[in-house]
Chains A and B, each alone.
Chain A
Amino acid sequence: MAEALWKFRGFVTDALTEVVQNWYWDELTKDERDLIRDRIAHLEHLKGHLWKEPYYEDFGDIGEIKKKSTPRGALRIYGVKKSDVFVLLNGVLKKVTRDSRGTDLARKRLKLLNNGRGNTHGFNFQERSS
């Protein structure tokens, strides 16, 4: 398999909770995780300047990977680009057109990271091994 252009990491709290990873495994169905995996499988090989709307929205400080239509609403993953790494800060699955709570939480976590609090871990898009 060709080397990916992007690596994906997830936010970890000071208490070592992998909040986005847990959301991914615990809150989403397998079909929803499949949709994310399919999207990431392409995005990880796509040059950064090509990430754009409608599947990626750049808010300046953070960005949003978006999968518009799923039965339970829009899948949104907020994160920040740092060199060749996209750090996943928050994940949301909701039937809303604007998700200010989701972006607020992502920004809060970004601020923690920038202040040396919290950390990141290699994000695992695979199914959790039992």
Chain B
Amino acid sequence: MGSISKKDLVERVRRGKVTRDQMVANNLSEGIAFQIQATRDARGWTQAELAGRAGIANNLPRLEDPDYGKQTITTLKKLTSALDVALVVRFVPFSQYIDWLSGTPHLDEGISPESLAVPSFVDEEKSGVFEKKSQYWKVDLTPEIAVPETEKQDTFSMASYGETITPTFMIAESEREMVNAY
């Protein structure tokens, strides 16, 4: 089992605003520091080398200190370029944050009205989102073409339908199966 359970995280955000603020700040600081360190190491670079490539003063020891917590977006963008990776900085609702921290599968719908106007913890609590079990859709790979009875088989094979057919797959609302992600 991982060290952070979803149940504990829900209890934690409900403890109060100070705790929520600390949770976000702490995980941001820890995550960034450990990511810089591990990604730099994966490239085989020293701290000085990464600092040079990023064009920043060699304060990598501080940036890789999980207790530091004062990394600026400007510096992160420079490190992003040097490491040739993407950087995501965005506000998310606590329900989504908890799913991420606990490793719970979460369906991310991309840019949407909800992702732009992010609900507060209080709004989410009122909506009962923390009472719901996490869910993601299990996709039913049923081909949307008629298959003669004689050709039906237990194992689905693309080759069975010939090369000219592009199978499409239905995910009907009624066929969606909730999967308990706990």
Partner-B contacts on A (CB < 8 A): 1-2, 4, 8, 30-31, 34-35, 37-44, 46-47, 49-50, 54-55, 67-69, 125-127
Tell me the total A-B contact number using a CB cutoff of 8 A. Answer: 66
Min Cβ gap B173→A in Å is: 29
A54 closest partner in B (C-beta)? B65
Is B2 a contact partner of A30 (Cβ separation < 8 A)?
no
Is A39 a contact partner of B12 (Cβ separation < 8 A)?
no
The one of B11, B66, B101 that contacts A39, using a Cβ cutoff of 8 Å? B66
**Chain A CB within 8 A of B115 CB:** no
Partner-A contacts on B (CB < 8 A): 1-5, 7-8, 11-12, 15, 19, 22-23, 26-27, 30-31, 34, 37-38, 41, 65-67, 101-103
Is B41 a contact partner of A41 (Cβ separation < 8 A)?
no
Is B4 a contact partner of A37 (Cβ separation < 8 A)?
yes
Give 22 A-B contacts (CB < 8 Å), ordered by A residue: A2-B103, A4-B2, A30-B15, A31-B19, A34-B19, A34-B26, A38-B27, A38-B30, A41-B3, A41-B4, A41-B101, A42-B31, A42-B66, A46-B37, A46-B38, A50-B38, A50-B41, A55-B65, A125-B3, A126-B5, A126-B7, A126-B8
